[in-house]
């Protein structure tokens, strides 16, 4: 039996969501926390920290403000600490540079005593003798440390998804010529010098890569890579950003979504791709502007945009690649030859290997996914006396807001309150004007009118 005193909460992974929880937990009395990450320091999508790119959510969706605007770990306090309040005020920014968001998060992570980097978690198991989770982590020099936790939260993020036809080419031989957009910045200059680059994927990352490659072309459109943009979606569509549409990222919608049958939830996540996979209208506008510039004087831009296209096969062809594609609406196939391929095909949550020892103690659903309750607790075997939480691994149970920064601080506050056993921070459950389901009561009749039928909104 271990005599080590367990932490109240240990977090695995220090991305924005667990960093939010660490920041909100800082200073809570009688709460001991530790957050572990294998990286040597905080970094957030380093392969896509391109100049001119911004967050797709307002700066108020920082690590803490939506749950606790008085926190010292707010973005505004970061600006004050770096003497940037006046420049920020004069810039009239609502969407902040992505590079600055990364720097803000690093500023927080470096100052929180609960955050420990260079700590790769290798195993998580349930220690019955200690009545706690046993978390083993290893540093870069090989030192192994074991800590105990009464409660555990996984915030390990998501992994890049690469289309099946491209996977055999993810080898050293094709390194830098076939890659996921997560590595774009690393190979940016080599790609800019290529003859022809094909970008696959219609989301924000794909659009930013396309825009960056086009901007590497010279004024006459002769230098720089010919840029081809392929996507399965029927259009290069803007992300839903209307004020009412954004109410899908509220506690109200989560509550509604969670009550739906599983089959309907699966259907909705597929149908709502524009809520979280679309492109900002500013980025689409910038791409159009760049192409317009290149048509002045009768020129033709060295770029092709093809929506409604699925990648069927890829084969190496000399010093390039031959892509077999299918147009979904025309039901026709065509081939293109390219020098390099960037797959901007998103990310997905996967079960981390360090959880293997817990595999039989997690109550998985039929698709081997976590079953997550309203407080982000994972269903476990009754033999486990501790509590396991997850962040950004619950889209199938909570909807499209799972990966969105807007709900990050709210979700962290929900978890913090559950960990502490009583409210530490207020968490509003109603934030939308929209009623997502049928009304709970029969609307009252207005004088001179018939009562509205149940389910009818006036």
Asked if 53 and 193 sit in the same domain, the reply is no
- Chain-centroid distance of CA 61 in Å reads 13
Query: pLDDT digits over 336-375, tens only?
Result: 999 999 999 999 988 999 999 998 999 999 999 999 999 9
In a domain, 428, yes or no: no
Q: Which domain holds residue 233?
A: 162-239+277-343
Total tally of structural domains belonging to the chain? 2
In a domain, 258, yes or no: no
Cα four-point dihedral sign 382, 387, 393, 396:
positive
Asked if 357 and 382 sit in the same domain, the reply is yes
Asked if 148 and 198 sit in the same domain, the reply is no
Split at pLDDT 50, 70, 90, the class of 323 is very high
The answer to whether residue 455 scores a pLDDT higher than 80 is: no
Please report, rounded to a whole number, the percentage of residues in the chain having pLDDT higher than 90.
Answer: 87
Report d(CA 386, CA 126) in Å as an integer: 8
Report d(CA 138, CA 107) in Å as an integer: 24
> Strand pairing partners for 333?
326
Q: What angle do CA 56, 60, 65 make, to 5 degrees?
A: 135
Asked if 190 and 147 sit in the same domain, the reply is no
The answer to whether residue 1 scores a pLDDT higher than 90 is: no
**Sheet hosting strand 309-317, strand order edge to edge:** 309-317, 320-327, 332-338
Report d(CA 17, CA 348) in Å as an integer: 16
In a domain, 33, yes or no: yes
Asked if 137 and 167 sit in the same domain, the reply is no
Query: pLDDT digits over 193-250, tens only?
Result: 999 999 999 999 999 999 999 999 875 556 789 999 999 999 999 998 899 999 999 9
In a domain, 27, yes or no: yes
Residue-averaged pLDDT of the chain: 92
- The predicted pLDDT at position 453 comes to 45
Phi, then psi, of 381 in degrees rounded to 5? -60, 140
The answer to whether residue 456 scores a pLDDT higher than 50 is: no
In a domain, 148, yes or no: yes
Q: Are 79 and 59 in contact (CB under 8 A)?
A: no
pLDDT (mean) for 398-406: 94
CATH classification at residue 334: 3.50.50.60
Give the number of other CB atoms < 10 A from CB of residue 91.
11
Give the number of other CB atoms < 10 A from CB of residue 13.
21
Report d(CA 427, CA 423) in Å as an integer: 9
In a domain, 438, yes or no: no
Asked if 104 and 187 sit in the same domain, the reply is no
Split at pLDDT 50, 70, 90, the class of 452 is very low
Residue appearing with tokens 């950004």: 392
Region of poorest pLDDT, from 75-84, 90-99, 157-166, 222-231: 222-231
Asked if 15 and 109 sit in the same domain, the reply is yes
Split at pLDDT 50, 70, 90, the class of 397 is very high
Asked if 395 and 378 sit in the same domain, the reply is yes
pLDDT (mean) for 44-48: 93
The answer to whether residue 3 scores a pLDDT higher than 80 is: no
The answer to whether residue 302 scores a pLDDT higher than 70 is: yes
More confident residue, 222 or 134: 134
Asked if 357 and 330 sit in the same domain, the reply is no
- The predicted pLDDT at position 2 comes to 54
In a domain, 167, yes or no: yes
- If 0-12 CB within 10 Å is exposed, 13-18 middle and 19+ buried, where does residue 303 land? buried
Total residues found in the chain within this entry? 458
Asked if 221 and 305 sit in the same domain, the reply is yes
pLDDT (mean) for 291-310: 90
- The predicted pLDDT at position 220 comes to 57
Region of poorest pLDDT, from 213-227, 279-293, 408-422: 213-227
Asked if 301 and 389 sit in the same domain, the reply is no
What six digits make up the tokens of 231? 């996507």
Asked if 338 and 355 sit in the same domain, the reply is no
In a domain, 253, yes or no: no
- The predicted pLDDT at position 301 comes to 83
- The predicted pLDDT at position 441 comes to 55
């Amino acid at each position: 039996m271990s005599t080590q005193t367990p932490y109240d909460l240990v977090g695995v992974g220090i991305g924005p969501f667990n960093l939010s929880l660490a920041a909100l937990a800082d200073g809570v009395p009688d709460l001991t926390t530790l957050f572990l990450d294998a990286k040597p320091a905080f970094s957030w999508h380093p392969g896509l920290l391109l100049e001119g790119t911004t967050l797709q959510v307002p700066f108020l969706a920082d690590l803490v403000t939506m749950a606790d605007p008085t926190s010292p770990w707010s973005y505004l306090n970061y600006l004050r600490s770096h003497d940037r309040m006046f420049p920020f005020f004069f810039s009239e920014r609502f969407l902040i540079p992505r590079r600055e968001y990364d720097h803000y998060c690093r500023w927080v992570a470096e100052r929180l005593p609960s955050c420990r980097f260079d700590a790769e978690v290798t195993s998580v198991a349930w220690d019955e003798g200690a009545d706690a989770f046993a978390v083993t982590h290893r540093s870069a020099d090989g030192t192994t440390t074991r800590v105990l936790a009464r409660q555990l939260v996984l915030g390990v993020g998501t992994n890049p998804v690469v289309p099946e036809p491209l996977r055999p080419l993810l080898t050293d031989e094709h390194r830098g010529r076939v890659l996921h957009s997560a590595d774009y910045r690393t190979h940016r200059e080599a790609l800019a010098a290529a003859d022809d680059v094909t970008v696959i994927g219609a989301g924000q990352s794909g659009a930013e890569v396309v825009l960056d490659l086009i901007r590497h072309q010279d004024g006459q459109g002769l230098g720089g890579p010919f840029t081809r943009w392929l996507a399965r979606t029927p259009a290069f569509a803007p992300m839903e950003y209307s004020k009412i549409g954004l109410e899908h990222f509220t506690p109200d919608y989560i509550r509604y979504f969670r009550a739906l049958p599983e089959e309907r939830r699966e259907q909705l996540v597929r149908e709502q791709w524009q809520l979280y996979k679309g492109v900002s209208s500013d980025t689409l506008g910038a791409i159009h502007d760049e192409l317009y510039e290149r048509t002045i004087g009768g020129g033709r831009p060295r770029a092709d945009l093809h929506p409604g296209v699925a990648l069927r096969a890829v084969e190496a062809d000399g010093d390039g690649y031959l892509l077999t594609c299918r147009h979904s609406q025309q039901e026709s196939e065509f081939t293109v030859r390219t020098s390099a391929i960037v797959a901007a095909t998103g990310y997905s949550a996967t079960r981390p290997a360090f959880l293997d020892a817990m595999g039989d103690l997690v109550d998985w659903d039929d698709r081997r996914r976590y079953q997550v309750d309203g407080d982000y607790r994972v269903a476990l075997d009754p033999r486990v006396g501790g509590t396991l939480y997850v962040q950004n691994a619950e889209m199938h149970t909570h909807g499209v807001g799972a990966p969105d920064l807007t709900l990050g601080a709210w979700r962290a506050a929900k978890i913090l309150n559950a960990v502490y056993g009583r409210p530490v921070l207020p968490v509003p459950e109603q934030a939308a004007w929209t009623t997502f389901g049928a009304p709970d009561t029969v609307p009252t009749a207005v004088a001179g009118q018939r009562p509205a039928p149940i389910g009818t909104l006036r």
